[in-house]
Amino acid sequence: MKACLMLRRLCAFALIWQLILSPVMAQDESDTPLQDVLQTVQSEVANPSRGTVPAVLQALMAADAPGTVDFLRTWSDREVYERPADGLFFYATAEGSSLTLIDIDTGAEVATVTSRDVSQIRPNAGVRREIGASLVAFELTHPDADRRMAALASAARSPDPDQLPAIRAARAEEEDSAIAARMDRLIALLVARYDQDSTTRVEAIGALRGDVSTPARSVLNQLLATRADFAETLPEDVNIARIKTPGEDISLSAAYAVLVGADLAPAAPGRNAIRDALRANVVDGQVGGVPVHQLDNDADRIAAYQALEDAGIVPPLVTEADVADAVSQYVFFDAYLEPDAAVTTAAEAARSSTSLRVSGYQFLSLSLDALSLASIFFLAAIGLAITFGVMRVINMAHGEFIMMGAYTGYVVQTIIPNYTASLAVALPLAFAVTFLAGVVMERLVIRHLYTRPLETLLATFGISIALQQLAKNIFGTQARPVTAPDWLAGAIQINDLVSVAAVRVGIFVMAALFLLLLLYILNRTRLGLEVRAVTQNPGMAASMGINPDRINMLTFGLGSGIAGVAGVAIGLVAQVTSEMGANYIVQSFMTVVVGGVGSVFGTLAGAALIGSLQKGIEWFNPANTLAAQTFMVLFIILFIQFRPKGIVALKGRAAGD
Amino acid sequence: MMKKTLLSAAAITALMTAAPAMADCPIKVGVLHSLSGSMAISETTLRDVMQMLVAEQNAKGGVLGCELEAVVVDPASDWPLFAELTRQLLTVDEVDVIFGAWTSVSRKALLPVLEELNGLFFYPVQYEGQESSRNVFYTGAAPNQQAIPAVDYFIDELGVESFALLGTDYVYPRTTNAILESYLLSKGIAAEDIFVNYTPFGHADWSTIVSDVVGLGAGGKQVGVISTINGDANVGFYTELAAQGVSADDIPVVAFSVGEEELSGLDTSRLVGHLAAWNYFMSADTPENEAFITAWHEFIGSTDRVTNDPMEAHYIGFNMWVNAVEAAGTTDVDAVREAMWGQEFPNLTGGMAVMNTNHHLSKPVLIGEIRADGQFDIISQTPEVAGEAWSPFLEESASWTSDWQELECGMYDTATDTCVQLTSNY
Amino acid sequence: MTIMTSPETITPRRSFLRDNPSVLWFMGLLGLFTLIVTLLSEGMGMGVISTNLVKILGMTLCLCLIAIAMDVVWGYCGILSLGHFAFFGLGGYAIGMWLMYARTEIVIRDSLGRGAIPPTEREVSEGVASQIFGVVGSSELPLIWSFAGSLPAQLALVVLVPGVLALVFGWLAFRSRVTGVYLSILTQAMTLALSLYLFQNDTGLRGNNGLSGLQNIPGALEVPQAVISVWFFWASALALGLGYLLFAWVVSGKFGSVIRAIRDNEARVRFLGYNVEGYKLFVFTLTAVVAGIAGALYYPQAGIINPAEIAPIASIYLAVWVAIGGRGRLYGAVIGAAFVSLLSSWLTGGGAPNVDLGLFRIVWTDWWLVLLGLGFVAVTLFFPKGIGGLFDYLVRKQP
């Protein structure tokens, strides 16, 4: 089926190619109107499917009516309509719900109808890919460089040896060096995969050594595709990839199942088959002489079955010895689909020389992910590091400050439609909003509870519950996005294996800036000095003329404000919900505690540790991300057992206790 | 033996609870959808639809000459509360039918109560199947009405040979993926070409998983993603897809839990071409759908609100129930149940929905591509597919079937010709 | 029948009861309450109280039991544990496994027994597994279900699992002198880890779906829920009565003085030669076990248990109840749990009428949590003694 599809497409393709190469033919367009040609394949055009479209393309190319290429493009763009009344096809211009139909051949306006009088033909992505591939030859020489690039991508997506001449021809004409380079690569890949000449292919495959790009690796993998097979003796004429020893490379039962599948061995009756056989052979309350009530265990069931077997009623049991014996008569192996051994050897060599680099890049990619996660954790936790770490105030509503920041970002975005401008407004505004919220909370609640840390914990819990519900009441429970501006929307692509979303880089930069800013404020400014003084000895600080109330208020505001900014940043990569704060609060406390309370560097170390740990566990168990989170929390609990003061433990008086 | 006692017990409770309803006006319709908590966003809409349908029916003169009265309660996305309120609706409010629930876990929570008290329940959401309760009519899609046609589309139309099954870690994705894995193997897809990953609810960190999926492309096969990712997590997932530049041409994603409502908060311009499979899309161009949307916009007082698949399910379910009550001439649960079998009602997308004796609907399956305006282009519509209560692709249920009319059993083992149990497994 | 909870039958020490008149009061009130509910219930009495309400009241008694456990560990011993609801959930899971397994086993044996030949044990256990785990896409019975068929084993696990977890966790935490807010956060992390763990389907406890259909009691499948609900109400009342007695006794003697001293100044108690860690570990573990028992009684009434029940927020609510009710007095915890949880289910259950203020409509389902949160802040700031503190005024007025 597939081969036939492929062939048909090849034919269509060859026809198009002929069309371009021979100008004589191209001038000598047939006079049949396109509509008439389309009517010969009416239902396939009206209901396009990947299975039928090659035939349509072939028919259209063969008839070669004027405007065929334009029709194909329009069809693919879903702008062709069918009028069910007479089955004719039209182009159309839409105005509201009414459509003006345009004749395909003459371009004349035919009629104005409603959308329900005609049906819009919507070729799916698979069909469009086929159409795109058939148009590659035309598009490759299109004056618009973007169109040429798109055509190349389309050709690469469905590689086809018949495209080679068209691409080679286009390459000769190509002036844009970037496009030319891509054409060269595509040609090389096509040669490696499809060329007739073995040495040319081996050479082309050699050139793919160390190439970590996805198309190159996929060509190698396709060349090395194998099928499992077996035979009585190893056949000479196949390209053997490896021989599988039963019991080692392939389990005995699997090997036996293969033989059963090929009708070379009797199927072993399983437990269910035995049960069904016994059930079918109950005679006078007995099966094979065993009373029915005894058949509630496997041993008696097998005995009864053997009795039936001896009577010749049921197929024989297959013992392990039978299995081993049957399997030993055959040799099991994997064979390459590619018959040319020279090619597969070269491809194996190329692949193994690439694999090391691939794992290297994969590790790099994972590390970048970990770095990105760590910078998010850091941003989420750094505000807490100030309030908890420096002031020793437990703020369980910290997560809700993150949420407030994120919602600020969302609200600003609904007011200012330009994403860049809204982001530029949202960041300082989020800081201001949460700074204020922090100050209000400090004044109203926390101030009264400085001597009672557990009560602070409780009171801020209350605030957290209230804020969360308030957010639900205002914004609803649906997740809201903070959309990144276009310049932050893409990815920074190092190669096909390593790419980082630009937003994540942005967040990393932001985290780094905040680290520096905070270090500067705490260590180099008057405020920082006063904060440290008040933290270490409020009484002494007050007697030196520092107003501890003011300092506490400002510090708390600063910590809260940073949480707000973090909220905007997190909103860019994840969803904004009323519960997002709760997702970060425990993690943030862990980050601070693991890193070492009271130290900005500690928080950094904590975030780095937790981020890389989580990614590490995810890598070991990629199928279950939830497990990674569980193990991480467990690890942290254990870690605190052994290093209760965290990674960066403060010493001396600053340690406080 | 047990069957008999159970049946008679059920009959007695039926007599006790449902008998007075025959004469009673108004006829009460229980609406059991979360109006607060995490599921409120999805379920509140369904409450509104039910109120609209009840009001429309009353305008048409009610049922059996009685006014309909909607009894709305709020289970607050709290699963035990679903059981509690079901008991309250059936015993205190004495409703004649309940429309409600969204998540599978809430359905499983209320099932024992429903079967104990012999209530009548309509469940409107696509679900994992593997259930056929005597007392529930499933108007949402079973896996063979959503997941399997979507996979067929991937294989036949998009030529996908390597599958990434990404899901949130709960029962619907787990069961659906188990069915799909077995189905894909039966279609000749090799086990190593099936990548499965589960993430927690509300998962936010998608970079590694998306890279893993992109990395599958190195196998040289067309990669496709089957997403059963639920709710909030989709925002992060699609954002990351867009950020890593994964276009629908390279790696198409088909989602079973993402509809008009879920997309309404997202910037869909970067998601154009990705897919979703449902039994209904708002963009369906039929007179019925147009009337439904107009009525909905009028009722809710805003033309911005979208319609979606579970809303259509309630629309079909409610109208079938009305017709069944009219046919039975009573609201007695057992009489209505029997009248429900074979009920037909036109779909909003064209064609006719039929209620089968396994309590599942026959409905067409639609596949849509996401458009920049947050709506879907319907690119494939199958004829009506009958919902399967038990998947033939799972070993343990391969020989099971459900037929409440002939076999009078929802979990019937055809291998042994016995009814495994008359209640459901919760 | 309900007289079993009345105080006359349980009289460990006369002097203890004389010293603690509140215990007698409590026992009397609880007995009376049980009697009234029974007489008015649908299953046993006049049918004024619906089965639903009996279940709610029974569950509330269980919540009161865990609240007094929380009060002992926090109000008396000063350990603000944010993990006791996790122990509660574990108790529920332990009993839930038996309820599910045994009920399914009856169904399966019945179904397979109707075949031509009797089933093997393996077929039964496979049948049970595919019934229980079929809905989560699996048919294997996980290892942790090995004892699920045995009621005594699962009852032992109700006590053992929370007990051992508390013992190990407490030992690790107290040994490294993790105290105060650090300990609170650590217990919260433990709860988070546990709920994340249970959310995974791979855990073998049906992930997000949890265990359901727990209201059907194997062996009593034909008994109507109206009756079963009263049985569980009695069991809950009995457990609460015994728990109250146990904790009142624990906190009244010398032991109680020591743990209160630990709350007030841990270092000083240590210098006096007491094994502070031992005391804390004992209280932590004992309360965890009681929490587990409370959970084992709660979930068969709720009918379903799933990991969302164990989420950290549940343990926080527990602290809120105790704080609002009044820390450091057992009846305070009971009042707080009963008052807040009943009020909460009344307001969020749509039972309360919404208040129309003209411009603005107070929808209780939306605003209840905001009120609760702010109310909690107010209690912390202004009424640290909670509702129970009001009794002080009453007592003081009578000379």
Place of tokens 């205190």: B92
pLDDT at B19 exceeding the cut of 80? no
DSSP B303-354: SS----HHHHHHHHHHHHHHHHHHHHTS--HHHHHHHHTT-EEE-TTSSEEE
Task: Tally the residues of chain C.
Answer: 399
Report which DSSP code applies to A266: P
Cα A134 to Cα A7, A149, A195, B168, C87: the distances in Å are 13, 15, 21, 40, 65
Strand C355-356 and strand B27-32: the pairing is unpaired
Main-chain dihedrals φ then ψ at residue A290, nearest 5 degrees: -95, 130
Of A462, A472, A644, Cβ closest to residue C377: A462
Could you tell me if C202 lies within 8 Å of chain A, comparing CB atoms? yes
Domain count, chain C: 1
* Helical (H) or strand (E) element with C97: helix C84-113
Of C52, C199, C209, Cβ closest to residue B84: C52
Tell me how far apart the alpha carbons of residues C347 and C371 are, in angstroms, rounded to a whole number: 11
Report which DSSP code applies to C367: H
pLDDT at A8: 46
Could you tell me if C318 lies within 8 Å of chain A, comparing CB atoms? no
Cα A151 to Cα A131, A133, A138, A186, A219: the distances in Å are 11, 8, 9, 12, 19
> Which amino acid appears at position C294 of this protein?
A
Inside any domain, residue C219: no
Cα A211 to Cα A207, B4, B47, B213: the distances in Å are 8, 71, 57, 20
Tell me how far apart the alpha carbons of residues A418 and A432 are, in angstroms, rounded to a whole number: 21
pLDDT at B6: 43
Asked whether the beta carbons of residue C121 and residue A296 sit closer than 8 angstroms, the reply is: yes
Structure tokens at A476: 């609803």
Tell me how far apart the alpha carbons of residues C136 and A116 are, in angstroms, rounded to a whole number: 44
Of B239, B243, B249, Cβ closest to residue A157: B249
Mean pLDDT confidence for C20-35: 90
Tell me how far apart the alpha carbons of residues A303 and B371 are, in angstroms, rounded to a whole number: 65
Structure tokens at C237: 């009342």
User: Which residues neighbour A362 within 8 Å (Cβ) at sequence distance 6 or greater?
Assistant: A497, B215
pLDDT at C274: 93
Q: For A296-324, give one letter per residue: b (16+ CB within 10 A) or e.
A: beeebbebbbebbbeeeebeeebeeeebe
Mean pLDDT confidence for A207-229: 87
In contact, B259 and B179? CB cutoff 8 Å: no
User: Which chain B residues touch A618 with a CB distance below 8 Å?
Assistant: 208
Structure tokens at C342: 């009943």
pLDDT at C172 exceeding the cut of 90? no
Of B102, B78, B74, the C-alpha closest to B88 is B74
pLDDT at C398 exceeding the cut of 60? no
Taking 3-state DSSP, the helix, strand and coil percentages for chain A, each rounded to the nearest 5, stand at 65, 10, 25
Could you tell me if C188 lies within 8 Å of chain A, comparing CB atoms? yes
**More confident: A269 or B187:** B187
**More confident: A623 or A499:** A499
Asked whether the beta carbons of residue A582 and residue C176 sit closer than 8 angstroms, the reply is: no
Asked whether the beta carbons of residue A214 and residue B200 sit closer than 8 angstroms, the reply is: no
Q: Which tens digits make up the pLDDT trace of B155-201?
A: 999 999 999 999 988 888 988 999 999 999 999 999 999 999 888 88
Specify the range with the lowest mean pLDDT, choosing from A386-390, B11-15, B325-329.
B11-15
Residue B409: beta bridge partners? B403
User: Which chain A residues touch C119 with a CB distance below 8 Å?
Assistant: 296
Report which DSSP code applies to B266: S
Task: Tally the residues of chain A.
Answer: 657
Q: Residue C242: give the domain boundaries.
A: 2-211+225-397
Structure tokens at B259: 């509809």
Q: Which tens digits make up the pLDDT trace of C49-107?
A: 889 899 999 999 999 999 999 999 999 999 999 999 999 999 999 999 999 999 999 98
Tell me how far apart the alpha carbons of residues C64 and C297 are, in angstroms, rounded to a whole number: 12
Mean pLDDT confidence for A28-52: 84
Q: Which 3-state string (H, E, C) describes A165-219?
A: HHHHHHHHHCCCHHHHHHHHHHHHHHHHHHCCCHHHHHHHHHCCCCCCCHHHHHH
Specify the range with the lowest mean pLDDT, choosing from A126-140, B377-391, C59-73.
A126-140
Tell me how far apart the alpha carbons of residues A258 and A326 are, in angstroms, rounded to a whole number: 11
Structure tokens at C209: 């779906």
Report which DSSP code applies to B261: H
* Helical (H) or strand (E) element with A398: helix A398-415
* Helical (H) or strand (E) element with C140: none
Could you tell me if A524 lies within 8 Å of chain B, comparing CB atoms? no
In contact, B233 and B199? CB cutoff 8 Å: yes
Tell me how far apart the alpha carbons of residues C61 and B108 are, in angstroms, rounded to a whole number: 25
A:B CB pairs within 8 Å: 165
Tell me how far apart the alpha carbons of residues A61 and A38 are, in angstroms, rounded to a whole number: 11
> Which amino acid appears at position B160 of this protein?
V
Edge-first strand order for the sheet with B361-363 is: B344-346, B352-355, B361-363, B385-386
pLDDT at B326: 94
Q: What is the mean pLDDT of chain A?
A: 85
User: Which chain A residues touch C124 with a CB distance below 8 Å?
Assistant: none
Could you tell me if B199 lies within 8 Å of chain A, comparing CB atoms? yes
Cα A434 to Cα A11, A395, A553, A645, B147: the distances in Å are 66, 13, 13, 29, 45
Could you tell me if A357 lies within 8 Å of chain B, comparing CB atoms? no
pLDDT at A623: 63
Q: Which tens digits make up the pLDDT trace of A617-653?
A: 888 776 666 677 778 778 877 887 777 777 877 655 5
* Helical (H) or strand (E) element with C358: none
Q: Residue B363: how many CA atoms within 13 Å on its side-chain side?
A: 34
Report which DSSP code applies to A250: B
- State CA B32 to chain mean position distance: 15
Specify the range with the lowest mean pLDDT, choosing from B143-157, B229-243, C129-143.
C129-143
SS3 B74: coil
Tell me how far apart the alpha carbons of residues C146 and C131 are, in angstroms, rounded to a whole number: 16
Q: What pLDDT band is residue C399 in, cutting at 50, 70 and 90?
A: very low
Asked whether the beta carbons of residue A574 and residue B204 sit closer than 8 angstroms, the reply is: yes
| Chain C interface, best mutation among B171, B201, B424, by max C CB count within 10 A | B171
Q: What pLDDT band is residue A580 in, cutting at 50, 70 and 90?
A: confident
Domains of chain B, each with CATH number or no CATH: 2-141+285-363 (3.40.50.2300), 147-255 (3.40.50.2300)
Asked whether the beta carbons of residue C348 and residue B91 sit closer than 8 angstroms, the reply is: no
Tell me how far apart the alpha carbons of residues B164 and B194 are, in angstroms, rounded to a whole number: 6
Asked whether the beta carbons of residue A479 and residue B231 sit closer than 8 angstroms, the reply is: yes
Structure tokens at B25: 């006006």
**More confident: A30 or C112:** C112
Tell me how far apart the alpha carbons of residues B377 and B341 are, in angstroms, rounded to a whole number: 33
In contact, A177 and A145? CB cutoff 8 Å: no
Percent with pLDDT over 70 in chain A: 93
In contact, A572 and A508? CB cutoff 8 Å: no
Asked whether the beta carbons of residue C117 and residue A630 sit closer than 8 angstroms, the reply is: no
pLDDT at A154: 83
